[in-house]
Amino acid sequence: MRKPTLLALAFLTLIAPQVRAGANHNGTLVWHLDSTVAYTTDLDYYCGASGIACGTDLSGCDNGYDHQDDCRERIGSLNPTGPPDTGTYVASVLAAFPEGSCPELKAASFGLGDYDTGNVTFVDYGPCASVELNTAGWPGPNEGTAVTFSNVVRSQLIEIYWFAAYAYYTDRDGSLPLTGGPDGEGFFSDDSDPVVHDPIVGFSTLGLKGDRLQRTSDWLRCNGGVLSE
């Protein structure tokens, strides 16, 4: 795993309780599990493996976000549920933003909520950004992490993190809720001066071993308006 650096420490010190609406306003944090992505110890990096993240706008959104239509379809197809078995699957954590927005994501902070540690096991995990600083018990319940990208990412669906995990018992809870971390409120941050920290307005839950959850598309319509009717 990547070691904490001074850059990550500096990012955490920038997170302040006073925020104003910025380019990452009304963003949510969502799960996606693609059961066709097989986990193997031969690989140590799974960011991009599912191909679900939307394209990056390299023009700076001068004429709006370049990948708007394609991205709406991708966000609508996000899957929060694993197959009904005890296999190890790779799940991605992504930042999803509303239609018409042009996010400028430089950093993000989030956490995991309560989950059954006697059932859910993490085999491997890692950030999709270049720098990470996490709490001592990460990725345990009610722990958190902060990640920083080398460059600003302009996209309405951005891969933040990946986990390889399984739920051993089919008759026990296999859900994994995302949260704002130990401090209770996660942020999406840009690279402006001063930095703008937009609060994450919604956190979805992953269901391993077939735990049926509300479809991500339906969840997003009720949480932050990332998808409209």
DSSP string covering 79-127, please? --B--SS---EEEEEEEE--TT----EEEEEEEE----TTTEEEEEEEE
Do residues 113 and 72 make contact, with C-beta atoms less than 8 angstroms apart? no
Question: What would the mean pLDDT of 33-49 be, rounded to a whole number?
Answer: 93
CATH number where 176 lies: 2.60.40.680
pLDDT in tens, 132-155: 999 999 999 999 999 999 999 999
Q: Quick one: DSSP state of residue 208?
A: -
Query: Could you tell me the residue range of the domain that residue 128 belongs to?
Result: 6-14+24-222
pLDDT of residue 167: 93
Query: Cα–Cα distance between 224 and 217 in angstroms, integer?
Result: 12
* 203 DSSP β-pair partners: 29
Tell me whether residue 101 is in a domain.
yes
What 3-state DSSP class applies to 192? coil
What would the pLDDT profile of 68-107 be if each residue is shown by its tens digit?
Answer: 889 989 998 999 888 888 899 999 999 999 988 999 999 9
pLDDT in tens, 2-20: 444 433 444 444 444 445 6
The pair of three-digit structure tokens given for residue 50, joined into one six-digit string: 């599912």
The answer to whether residue 19 sits within a structural domain is: no
pLDDT-derived band of residue 187, with 50, 70 and 90 as boundaries?
very high
Whether the pLDDT of residue 225 is over 70: the answer is: no
**32 within some domain:** yes
Q: CA-CA distance, 126 to 79, in Å (whole number)?
A: 20
Q: Please write the tens of the pLDDT for every residue from 196-220.
A: 999 999 999 999 976 555 455 555 6
Residue 152 lies in a domain: yes
Specify the pLDDT at position 185: 84
pLDDT surpasses 70 at 58: yes
Rounded to the nearest integer, the mean pLDDT of the chain is 85
Determine, yes or no, domain membership for 216: yes
User: Is residue 215 in a domain?
Assistant: yes
Positive or negative torsion for Cα 39, 42, 45, 50: negative
| Residue 228 is assigned to a structural domain of this protein | no
Q: Does a structural domain hold residue 78?
A: yes
Is pTM beyond 0.75? Reply is: yes
Q: Which residue has the higher pLDDT, 59 or 123?
A: 123
Number of domains in the chain: 1
